[in-house]
Structure 1
Amino acid sequence: MTTQDPQGHQLADYQPPPDTGLALLYEDEHLLALDKPSGLLSVPGRGERMADCLAARVQARFPDAMVVHRLDMDTSGLVLMARGPLVQRLLSQQFMARQVDKRYEAMVHGVLAQEEGEIDLPLITDWPRRPRQKVDAEIGKPSLTRFRLLQPLANSSRVSLEPVTGRSHQLRVHLMALGHPIIGDDLYGPPGDRARAGRLMLHACDVALAHPVSGQALKLVCPCPF
């Protein structure tokens, strides 16, 4: 039986990466920042076999840790967790107000013609083909991604991505619509691409925000592993 994770991913055979300990990037009494490995759910899926996730691993060590936002299962990188309901509410308000700046790096197919630009394409769930999302100019929700070419290669490019909005699969669909799907993306790229690449080549690198309690400016960094 094929099931889905809370963000709609097909999980016919969920095999989380081994638990080798938390990769803590930042820790204080209010806030945690962690490096989530590719292949690990952010929150539990349905059923006991999908209980292993970043949230469960963090809460085993920090019982007061609470989820604020998520990364797709196949995306790696920086995830914030609040310590207690007050900080969770304060951080959630920052995310909703778009006061948290996020940057990703990706390897994409082909060489980008532009060194930088914006992808402004409205997105909506492609219901007959869930969990896929699609561009829909009539009823799609406004979605904006800024991109910058970091390194052109022979048949691929390393790019920096800044999602202004936070739609499901936004970076993946926007890059596909640009004609440069992310390497390792079986949903929006060539069939079998994940097996050839070994993983989805998308990583959350940087987060900048005001500390939810002190108000101090925080810039958190998680180096790209590919």
Structure 2
Amino acid sequence: MDVTFNAVVSHQGDGLSLYAYLDGYFPFIDNNDWAARLVADTTLVDDSVMVGNPQLRLGQQLSFCLNHYSEEAVDIGWQLLWQNDAFFAVHKPANLPVHRTTRNVYNTLTALVRRTSDWPEAQLLHRLDQETAGIVLFAKNNDQAKLWQPKFHTLVTQKIYQAIVYGTPDWTELEVNNKLAVRGDSPIRCQMHVCRADEKGKASTTRFRVVQRMAGYSLIECELVTGRKHQIRAHLAHLGHAIVGDKIYAHQGEYYLHRLADSLTPEHHQQLLSPHQLLLAHRVTLQQSDDQQTAPVVIVDDHYPMAWQAFLAGLLDPLLVLTQTHSNNSKDLGMTNPSPSAADFFDVNFAALAANPDLSGLAEGLAEFGRIDSQASFNAFCRASCTLWRNQVAHQDGAPKAQFDELQARIAEGAVTDSVIATPWGGVVITRLAPPTVEKYLVVQRGGYLALETHSVKQEQIEVIEGRGLLLVGELGETELRVHALAPGDRYAFVPGMEHCLIGTEDLLIFERSNDPKGMDQDLIFLYTPEA
């Protein structure tokens, strides 16, 4: 295809011939016979047609057309999220560069916005890494850029990212403060490193919060306090939880070096688990006026990349491979009736509770119940959890729980039906039964708790709708159960072989969506059950 380009000659191009300028502008074009590549009579310098190979001068307006042009394919589906008279916010797809690179000149976010929007003079106010998706802010023209670029740090009062990372942190919230810098001896020159005490670097601060824990992975919310290069990626890698798909900060940078050498293979992408890093600039808060009475603007980007959605939905084969690799024979996904547990006991990890100032006393009180190795010790732990919560934690009896009350009333109305099942701990209300998909509400009354259980093939996701409680959950192949406090909005995912138990320290409403190939709970394995 024939493509027209417009450029302004910079200091780097001052004094170069046209062909030498094009060599630098298109480093990825091997055939640089520019006399043949340039469409006749389309080369303009300051609106005058030029022929041959003229010398260029600083500031000249250059326009030219190349025939049979192509470059690396990228996702060009940017979307407008918000605008006012001065600037606007867009969604940048993953793998779309914001400006020209050594591989892309025509299809960059800035070029696409200028070509296909009402703002041909749009100017970037900040940048995102090429593989990061999410919110990018533009000024609508040069005058607005000059006005707002110096005030960017007061304009943007909060930047929140989301990331899917390797591992499950033993903290729920964490603030990281350290210095970041490149290292001259690093094989990856752009990689940022956390500085040692004797190294110089730029101060950096990120606040992290675990949103959801999954089988060997976690969804993390990341708030940038400072804005250093690769800050979130470098901090998470330093914590031992690199972002899934990150070619620089995961796998010791092996796959970034492969990309530099143009030697990335489909097998490498399978090992990375994603074609790009799973990082999204999710939410930005703007304060457009110095008047603090003016309400801030909150922009949210929920356009999660397809690779992100596929990963969370468990559609990537490597996730299943990982599950099989880390499970022992008693939990083999191919077995119809695995034994209840390969472990003779479970040690209880209270780190997440202890890190919460409101729940640290609960963690201390439960410490004496730190090993579950029998039916009796399981029930003792669950009962103590409810008792200590009632005595030590400010509970939410007055909090709205209209949906809980409505579903509890349905359960209390009478006999078991196809959609309502009464249980000793509360009950189940089934809202969708379309095998293998099952959707249902778990109505857990205060003081009630479910069995410590696992499944051979069922995969499930839960979300807390109302109320509060505790979750006991084990990782594949481990003899440890971690305790997490539950609050509305919390989400967790369980794959076959993961032990888990819900405890209603207060009235607790859970929505569960599962893929149940054998039929609803037909593969259910009880490890320990509640006493009557």
**Is TM more than 0.5 here?**
yes
Number of the residue aligned with 2:242:
181
CA–CA separation in structure 2 for the residues paired with 1:63 and 1:212: 26
CA–CA separation in structure 1 for the residues paired with 2:195 and 2:204: 11
Number of the residue aligned with 1:93:
150
Following superposition, the deviation at residue 178 of structure 1 comes to: 0.5
Secondary structure of the 1:160 match is: strand
Number of the residue aligned with 2:288:
211
Give the counterpart of 2:87 among 25, 31, 39.
31
CA–CA separation in structure 2 for the residues paired with 1:29 and 1:213: 17
Distance 1:55 1:40, change over 3 A: same
Give the counterpart of 2:299 among 212, 220, 223.
220
Following superposition, the deviation at residue 198 of structure 1 comes to: 2.3
Following superposition, the deviation at residue 94 of structure 1 comes to: 3.3
Following superposition, the deviation at residue 177 of structure 1 comes to: 0.3
8 Å CA contact retained: 1:94, 1:100: no
1:48-127 matches, cutoff 5 A: 49-60=104-115, 61=117, 62-97=119-154, 99-127=156-184
2:185 pairs with 1:131 = no
Secondary structure of the 1:127 match is: coil
8 Å CA contact retained: 2:82, 2:89: yes
Following superposition, the deviation at residue 90 of structure 1 comes to: 3.7
Give the counterpart of 2:276 among 199, 204, 209.
199
- With structure 2 as the length reference, what TM-score do the two structures score? 0.37
Secondary structure of the 2:273 match is: helix
Residue by residue over 1:92-147, the C-alpha shift from the partner in whole angstroms, topping out at 9 and shown as x without a partner, is 23334584310000000000110001111210122343111111143011000000
* Unaligned segments of structure 1, at least 5 residues: 1-13
Following superposition, the deviation at residue 33 of structure 1 comes to: 0.7
Distance 1:224 1:177, change over 3 A: farther
Q: Which has the higher contact order (CA 8 A, sep 6+)?
A: 1
Distance 1:163 1:16, change over 3 A: farther
CA–CA separation in structure 2 for the residues paired with 1:168 and 1:151: 26
1:40-51 matches, cutoff 5 A: 40-46=96-102, 49-51=104-106
Of stretches 87-96 and 169-178 in structure 1, the one that deviates more from structure 2 is 87-96
CA–CA separation in structure 2 for the residues paired with 1:31 and 1:98: 11
Residue by residue over 1:63-103, the C-alpha shift from the partner in whole angstroms, topping out at 9 and shown as x without a partner, is 13111100000000000001123432343233345843100
2:219 pairs with 1:140 = no
Residue by residue over 1:47-72, the C-alpha shift from the partner in whole angstroms, topping out at 9 and shown as x without a partner, is 7x434210000011221311110000
Distance 1:98 1:217, change over 3 A: closer
Residue by residue over 1:19-61, the C-alpha shift from the partner in whole angstroms, topping out at 9 and shown as x without a partner, is 34x31101233211100011111111247x4342100000112
Distance 1:179 1:33, change over 3 A: same
Give the counterpart of 1:153 among 205, 214, 221.
214
Of stretches 125-134 and 137-146 in structure 1, the one that deviates more from structure 2 is 125-134
CA RMSD of aligned residues (A): 2.3
CA–CA separation in structure 2 for the residues paired with 1:56 and 1:174: 31
Distance 1:224 1:59, change over 3 A: closer
Secondary structure of the 1:176 match is: helix
Residue by residue over 1:150-173, the C-alpha shift from the partner in whole angstroms, topping out at 9 and shown as x without a partner, is 001110100000011111111000
Distance 1:18 1:107, change over 3 A: closer
Secondary structure of the 2:175 match is: strand
Is the helix fraction higher in 1 or 2? 2
Amino acid at match of 1:35: H
Secondary structure of the 2:203 match is: coil
Secondary structure of the 2:168 match is: coil
8 Å CA contact retained: 1:184, 1:196: yes
Following superposition, the deviation at residue 217 of structure 1 comes to: 1.8
Of stretches 209-218 and 121-130 in structure 1, the one that deviates more from structure 2 is 209-218
Of stretches 105-114 and 190-199 in structure 1, the one that deviates more from structure 2 is 190-199
Distance 1:213 1:16, change over 3 A: farther
- With structure 1 as the length reference, what TM-score do the two structures score? 0.84
8 Å CA contact retained: 1:30, 1:213: no
Amino acid at match of 1:131: C
Amino acid at match of 1:202: L
* Unaligned segments of structure 2, at least 5 residues: 1-70, 256-267, 309-532
Of stretches 76-85 and 189-198 in structure 1, the one that deviates more from structure 2 is 189-198
Amino acid at match of 2:273: R
The structure with the largest alpha-carbon Rg is: 2
8 Å CA contact retained: 1:148, 1:159: yes
